[in-house]
Structure 1
């Protein structure tokens, strides 16, 4: 499909029932956040805290609940990672490293999405997989057993083909609504499951970076992961399963879920900005 055709298809998705209004609400929330007084001079501080809260929420969606103080200390190096073989902390580390890497792949995600995905997976996959499976898509008969609620993962060959299609979606980001592009990119990575493990964590990181690169969240203070977790793991997986079903209604449900996630993430960003302004961020 040509780039204009992909862009036209993405614009058409915005016209699905309820999607346009949800996209507008998310965009307005991001605009309100952008003009917060704290973000005139203290964007790095607020963006760093957004990554802390995003990593914690992303880990929680993987079933690993840790308090925000612990995540903050781990991300800034105030405490060392535990050395024991704790699966919960391995999952937290995957989310922390992947979310931290979004700061560095922001410039790559639009021009080289495959490279951005690989770098995000180095962060997410290193605590979970053997070294030879980190930072690369599945090959041969390698499978992914993640997100079973969505259905069986496609073969490695089909996953590679879908990733090539993802590059076309990302390339259309200047001609289609940024939120729709980011939502479809997120869903494709999460449902195609190109990696053996760490797919949903990478998908959320990729969406975060893409929201920033497209200009919808230029300060990087929105916390979309909190919005994705608003209805818990079941709500998030259910929305992805609806998308994977391929119906108009299912795709619309996912797009509205993502728009609401960004809107809630922008509200969380306002809380962060308020705390920064008041000097209450610890």
Structure 2
């Protein structure tokens, strides 16, 4: 039995409501994450010392990148939830696919959608695709951090039963003390990944296109797989048996792709501070 069970800090999942209009913490996490990422990218592309001879988008063009990535996150996140987790349910009820206000967004689907949006932006503006991926990858952990905090507030996606002193009994659960796995994910997938990638950027990683994007793939993939050991998977949608979860399965390719990008970027020769 745990020595101490922390009380769940009950927070209204609705931040503000005016008649039928409700602003939820989860929606706010998406908005703040996207806006904060846009603001940081504008600052990064304006610092010449970070880039050497590498071509990059202008600060003004980053406004369009926000739109491309926002649409990609929303559409990709919803379709990812439909296709990865419960396709039979949604194929039998296709109209519910559009009912995003009822919840149901998949991170890996949102990541694919954001990557596609970034690629389309790069093609339209002529900016190097890998550089756009690097910028998007550096700021993505901000949204992940906020999103996991919103999962905790809701509460949803809680952890497995445990007897650790910081265990929490979540409202709506079976009453067992559980890991606050949403906080684990916020700190590892969000905060820690952001700190590491930010340090890499300050040390010149933008001068090797693909390095930060590859680092994100590896770091996020490893962090997500680690956190899956503490997160309680849905037995019907996420538990694949033998200790394997859908989150682990979808994160493994990110590590492979990340390693490939890192290897490619490190093999690129640099001339006068930029890639040849």
**What TM-score results when the alignment is normalised by the length of structure 2?**
0.33
Which one has more relative contact order, counting CA pairs under 8 Å at least 6 apart? 1
Bigger Rg, which one: 2
**What TM-score results when the alignment is normalised by the length of structure 1?**
0.32
Which has the larger share of helix?
1
Which has the larger share of strand?
2
